[in-house]
Amino acid sequence: MRLEVHKLCAFCGRAQILFDVSLKLERGEVVALLGRNGAGKSTTLKSIVGLVEQRSGRVVLDGRDITYAPTAQIARAGLGYVPEDRRIFTELTVAENLLVGRQPPRSGAPAWTEKSLFHLFPNLAELSDRPAGEISGGEQQMLTIARTLMGNPAALMLDEPSEGLAPLIVEQLGKAILTLKQQGLSILLSEQNLHLARAIGDRVSIIEKGRIRFEGTMAEFGSDQTISRTFLAV
Amino acid sequence: MAFVVIQFLNGLASAADLFLVSAGLSIIFGVTRIVNFAHGSFYMLGAYLAFTLVEGVFGPAFGFWPGIVAAAIAVAVLGGLLEVTLLRRIYQAPELFQLLATFGVVLIVQDLVLLVWGPEDRIGPRAPGLEGAVSLLGHQFPRYDLFLIALGPIVLGALFLLFRRTRWGILVRAATQDREMAAALGVNERWLFTSVFVLGAFLAGLGGAVQLPREAVHHTMDLEIIVEAFVVVVIGGLGSVTGAFLASIILAELNAFGIVIFPEVTLVLVFLVMAVVLVIRPTGLLGRPEFAIRAASGVAEPPITPQSEAARNWVFAGVLGLAVLPVVADAYVLSVATEIMIFVLFAISLQFLMGISGMVSFGHAASFGLGAYGAALMIKHAGAPMELAFLAGIGLAALGALVIGWFCVRLSGVYLAMLTLAFAQIAWSVAFQWYGVTGGDNGILGVWPAAWAASPIVFFYLTLAVTTLALVILRRIIFAPFGFGLRACRDSVLRAEAIGIDRRQVQWFGFAVAGAFAGVAGTLYAFLKGSVFPDVLAVPVSVDGLVMVLLGGIQRLNGPIVGALVYKLLQIVLASYTDYWRLVIGVIIIGLVVAFPQGIVGFFGTRLDTLLMQRRNNS
Ligand SMILES: Nc1ncnc2c1ncn2[C@@H]1O[C@H](COP(=O)(O)OP(=O)(O)O)[C@@H](O)[C@H]1O
Ligand SMILES: [Mg+2]
């Protein structure tokens, strides 16, 4: 699935948060959206799925303009969104959380079942009947991804999936995301964790203060130390 | 002992319809975040439709049980239609406007019911197969009540299965917790909202219908039940069906035992229980973290500013214009103008509470009415002169606001709003029931101004002077440090507390100030009318205030003035043309909410601001 973002602006009240953000995500590609805390990564992803009310610009999914489509329709069109704060339904069980995400299979995207997801995230299998509010942070992160995958998306946006997780868990997570990539999913990965981004990203976009400041391949990004020093170092 | 058991069963039976209504209210609120005032209307329609269908008033009789079910289904369909035709248009509007729209529906239904069924009480038939009584512990207990006792748990069980075992139910629970996230997972909100509304309306309709053999159907049952349901929902916790079940039983039992043991203090008991629950658990017995009421949409509101030169001149011109009014106007016009000024004052005080202090009140009538009663009681029981009675009115209103406020500042958002409504209703009940002191619904007569202020012209000037003075004082307060403190608490409790503001203290005083000024309005009103009735404390007065403030634009300094003027004038004019003015007003309110979600002044004001800015840029 192809995602194209053209000159996206977003506002919060009178404050402008995003300034003409443009991004491209080709089929089967992983684009890492990097930026410091507060740079505008989450706002970008939220604006794409229509969770930021005041916005302008154009968002095109496989040739279809979805800029002002209702959030649910965007999801049903095959664009999965995994929010940064996980937003697990804590009052529902793990299995019920997955059920909420369930959508009919779609052609051109891997079809997931609860069972195949438990295979991808083995930890979740035993937790299936537990209230989701009671499982650990890492498990919640797995669950939020699994829940979105239940919708059989063709493209996936992940917002800082590694945030607050132990290195071991991050590694597990990286493996799972790689699997998804191998299955042909297009992935837009917002991250501060360069390690994870390097491991799975094909291309890099860097955002700073609501503006895209760099776009290039992972190799170009890696070869020029000044880029990450200028825009990412704290 | 047997008596206690029987009384307990009585309580359980009367909890049934309360539970059905509250559960529906709670479920609808959970998903759509709409405080559906019209839920009481669904209940009333359920009762009237059941009566009609069972008795075959307009067509073939359905028979009892089919009639009950058909009535509930009909109400469910109406609820669905309401959602699709009206609410769907205003989900993006601020919550308070949605509330206003649902209140518009209440007004419309009230008049439609009067049009179709007339004002008489309607007595329904007994339920076939459940007539008569059974002998229980030596007492006679109505068979039908046994059915009602069973109905509550049956519905609770059915809802439990619905929410745990069906995908629909799981989606509803998910959307109740996080609507945006559910949408981001592809859950179709539209369909979910409509179906939730249908279910809620069905429950309310059923609640009204099953009351048929127990109580006469009458045209004020909508507001009676909605207020009780608010209390239930506040005690049980918003969004929790089990909480609604527990709370409706608690409330019904308090009533059942209160009435036989100490009828005079039943209400106080209910109120005490609610207060204790809320102080210990601010989100109710089984509620989740509180739901904020957003006064505005997600868009940050422009901060309230000292008014522009132009606006000040307008107000000044208005006062001047009023000052010369007696030259041209007759006594009737003067009394209308006086009444409108009183409501301007009332609206200003409510705007101070909502817009400046950030506390939404559904029960501002409490302060207005306490002001009126304070003055009237002083005259009736102490034979005091007007001036003293005036002070007594303000004092009682301020005192009442201090008491109510003490509880309210411990809450926020919807809970706070519902609590204010409950307090106002308690005040109303006290005035209504305490015959010895308040005269009940005979009211207190002979509340006339002192001789020097008795002429309509003098009283008009008195009202003008008091209202203008109050306006000036409130504006001073808004832009004084205390006002800044209030607004700081409104905008961010955390930040306000971080800079050393004692939030509760500041808001408590804010509540009292608003109450005192509403009391001033109430006192003037008592003297204008020469009498006081429990109506001054009733829900419609609170809602009138809300309509005025919201019409005017909650963050506009002069909003309440325009809102009160437009709305009160409309009400007075309409009432002189038609008996069904509620219907017309309801339609107008809904039309205004759909057309101007920012309020009248907000709408035109924003346009005006833009225009002025352009002109300035051009020059
Ligand atoms: N609701 C909001 N109100 C005001 N400012 C906001 C809001 N949401 C985000 N911002 C601001 O927008 C900027 C971008 O935030 P965000 O997109 O969350 O950044 P990131 O995800 O890269 O850390 C931040 O500076 C933040 O302060
Ligand atoms: Mg972020």
Find the closest chain A residue to B300 by CA distance: A13
Q: Which amino acid is at B540?
A: P
C-alpha of B268 from chain center: 20
Helical pair B167-177 and B189-210, crossing angle rounded to 10 deg: 100
Which single residue is written with the structure tokens 């512990």? Answer: B137
The answer to whether B566 and B358 are in contact (CB under 8 A) is: no
> What confidence tier does B297 reach under pLDDT thresholds 50, 70, 90?
very low
Q: What is the CATH number of the domain that holds B586?
A: 1.10.3470
What residues make up the domain containing B444? 317-614
Residue B553 lies in a domain: yes
**Å from A220 to nearest chain B CA?**
34
The answer to whether A181 and A26 are in contact (CB under 8 A) is: no
Residue B238 lies in a domain: no
Look at residues B225, B252, B274 and tell me which one is the last residue of a structural domain.
Answer: B225
Between B262 and A219, name the one with better pLDDT: A219
The pLDDT value recorded for residue B302 is 55
Residue B69 lies in a domain: yes
Tokens of B339: 């009444």
| B170 to A96: CB separation less than 8 angstroms, yes or no | yes
ipTM of the complex: 0.95
Which residues from chain B sit within 8 angstroms of residue A104, using beta carbons?
A: none
Residue B356 lies in a domain: yes
CA nearest B35: which of B490, B588, B357, B418?
B418
The pLDDT value recorded for residue B600 is 62
| A14 to B180: CB separation less than 8 angstroms, yes or no | no
The minimal CB distance from B186 to the residues A87, A92, A103 is found for A103
Look at residues B175, B210, B225 and tell me which one is the last residue of a structural domain.
Answer: B225
Find the closest chain B residue to A150 by CA distance: B185
| A91 to B298: CB separation less than 8 angstroms, yes or no | no
Which residues from chain A sit within 8 angstroms of residue B170, using beta carbons?
A: 92, 96, 99-100
Q: Does B115 touch chain A (CB under 8 A)?
A: no
The answer to whether A204 and A214 are in contact (CB under 8 A) is: yes
- Report the DSSP pairing between strands A55-61 and A64-65: antiparallel
> What confidence tier does A96 reach under pLDDT thresholds 50, 70, 90?
very high
Q: Does B167 touch chain A (CB under 8 A)?
A: yes
The pLDDT value recorded for residue A46 is 96
Residue B290 lies in a domain: no
Q: What is the pLDDT of residues B427-438, one digit of tens each?
A: 988 898 888 889
> Is the pLDDT reported for residue A31 higher than 90?
yes
The answer to whether B254 and B266 are in contact (CB under 8 A) is: yes
Tokens of A152: 């059989």
Task: Please indicate, yes or no, whether residues B405 and B510 belong to a single structural domain of this protein.
Answer: yes
The answer to whether B503 and B358 are in contact (CB under 8 A) is: no
The pLDDT value recorded for residue B298 is 35
Residues β-bridged to residue A205? A33, A215
Q: How many CB atoms lie within 10 A of CB B263?
A: 11
Look at residues B159, B192, B225 and tell me which one is the last residue of a structural domain.
Answer: B225
Q: Does B303 touch chain A (CB under 8 A)?
A: no
Distance CA B56, CA B75 (A): 17
**Å from B120 to nearest chain A CA?**
47
Q: Can you spell out the DSSP letters for A148-189?
A: HHTT--SEEEEE-TTTT--HHHHHHHHHHHHHHHHTT-EEEE
* Domain architecture of chain A: domains with CATH: 3-231 (3.40.50.300)
Task: Please indicate, yes or no, whether residues B329 and B210 belong to a single structural domain of this protein.
Answer: no
Ligand 2 centroid to residue A105 C-alpha, Å? 30
Find the closest chain A residue to B165 by CA distance: A96
| A51 to B180: CB separation less than 8 angstroms, yes or no | yes
Is A16 close to ligand 1, i.e. is its CB under 6 Å away? no
Instruction: Specify whether the backbone of A214 is left (phi greater than 0), alpha (psi in -120 to 50) or beta.
Output: beta
Is A181 close to ligand 1, i.e. is its CB under 6 Å away? no
Tokens of B53: 């269908």
Residues β-bridged to residue A10? A18, A55
Residue B453 lies in a domain: yes
Measure CA of the first residue to CA of the last residue in chain A; give whole Å: 34
> Is the pLDDT reported for residue B104 higher than 50?
yes
| A51 to B170: CB separation less than 8 angstroms, yes or no | no
Distance CA B212, CA B54 (A): 10
Residues near B310 by Cβ (< 8 Å), separated by ≥ 6? none
| B299 to A53: CB separation less than 8 angstroms, yes or no | yes
Which single residue is written with the structure tokens 């964790």? Answer: A193
Tokens of A59: 């968002």
Residue B246 lies in a domain: no
Distance CA B19, CA B199 (A): 14
- Residue whose CA is at the smallest distance from ligand 1 atom 6: A12
Task: Please indicate, yes or no, whether residues B196 and B333 belong to a single structural domain of this protein.
Answer: no
Task: Please indicate, yes or no, whether residues B217 and B322 belong to a single structural domain of this protein.
Answer: no
Which residues from chain A sit within 8 angstroms of residue B167, using beta carbons?
A: 99, 102
Between A148 and B417, name the one with better pLDDT: A148
Residues near B8 by Cβ (< 8 Å), separated by ≥ 6? B253, B256, B257
Distance CA A156, CA B173 (A): 25
Q: Which of A14, A37, A42 is the best mutation target for the ligand 1 pocket, counting ligand atoms within 8 Å of the beta carbon and taking the most?
A: A42
Atom of ligand 1 nearest to the CA of A43: 17
Q: Does B162 touch chain A (CB under 8 A)?
A: no
> What confidence tier does B294 reach under pLDDT thresholds 50, 70, 90?
very low
Q: What is the pLDDT of residues B551-602, one digit of tens each?
A: 887 777 888 999 999 999 988 888 888 888 889 889 988 988 888 766 666 6
The answer to whether B467 and B341 are in contact (CB under 8 A) is: yes
The answer to whether B443 and B436 are in contact (CB under 8 A) is: no
Q: How many degrees, rounded to 5, is the angle at CA B276 between CA B272 and CA B281? A: 150
Which single residue is written with the structure tokens 């051009």? Answer: B618
- Report the DSSP pairing between strands A203-208 and B531-532: unpaired
Q: What is the pLDDT of residues B9-23, one digit of tens each?
A: 999 999 999 999 999
| Number of domains chain B contains | 2
pTM, 2 dp: 0.86
Average pLDDT, chain B: 87
Residue B184 lies in a domain: yes
Ligand 1 centroid to residue A207 C-alpha, Å? 13
Is A17 close to ligand 1, i.e. is its CB under 6 Å away? yes
